[in-house]
Structure 1
Amino acid sequence: MVDIGLLLYWGLFGLDWLPAFAVLLPEAPPAAQYSFCTIDLLVAISGLYSLYEWRSNHDTWRMLAVASLALMLASGLQLLVWTLAIAASNVLLIVVSVVFIITPLVFMNRLVRNVRRRATKIY
C-alpha cells in the first residue's frame, strides 16, 4: 500500500498534477521537495520487489524487505526533521513521519525474530 502510494505521489508530483493541499511540504522550495523523491522511490521499488520475491518463493525477499523498511525509517526521520524545521505547526506531517518511523520498526522486529528462529532450527 505504502509503496504504491509513494509511486503515485511522486508520479503526480513530477507531472505537477497534485493540488496544493496534497503537497507534503508546500512551504518548502522544490529542491527540498525533491530531496525526498529518491529515498521514497527506493522504498517503493525495494518493497514491491520484495513482495515479488516472496511470491516467487525466493529467500532474498527478507533482505529486500529489511532494506525497504530501513529506507522507510530513514524517510520518516527525514520528514520529521523537515517538518520540525519548516512546518512545525503541521500536525498531519508529524503524524505521517511518526508512522513512517514506527511501522518499519515493528515489521523489522518480526523479520529479525523469524530469521533468528530459522537460524537456530538449521543448526
Structure 2
Amino acid sequence: MINKDLWPFKPVYDELEIRLAGIEGECEPLGLEVDLGNETEEEMFIALTTQKAFAFDVMNEHGDIWDIRLEPFSTFKSRSDQVFFPFTGLNPAKRLKISNWILELCNWEGNIYLGNTRH
C-alpha cells in the first residue's frame, strides 16, 4: 500500500488474501482484486467490501454456505466434495455483515505490525 493513510487496511488485505486463497482455482474471477494505489480510505473500503466473491453464495454438496468471516475458503473446500458458485448479488444484509467485519479487521491504532486479524 503506497498511501500511508491506507495502512489501517493492511491487516484487512492480508486477511482477505488468506481467506480467499484457492477460490480462484475453483472459479477464476473470484480471487482477491484490489488496486493498492487507491488514494482514499473510502476508495479502499469500497474496493475491499465489493470483492466479486461476495456476490456469490459459495455452497457445497451438503447445502452449507461458506462465510468468509468464519473460515478461509480452503477450510470450507477441504470438507466439501463439490463446490458451487450460485450468483446471488451482494444483498444489503450480507454487505453490511462483511463491511462490519472489514472495519473490525482494520488497524486504526496506526501500527502496521499489530493487526486485528480474526482467526
Provide the TM-score with structure 2 as the length reference: 0.35
Instruction: Report which of the two structures shows the higher radius of gyration computed on alpha carbons.
Output: 1
Larger relative contact order (Cα-Cα within 8 Å, sequence gap ≥ 6): 2
Provide the TM-score with structure 1 as the length reference: 0.34
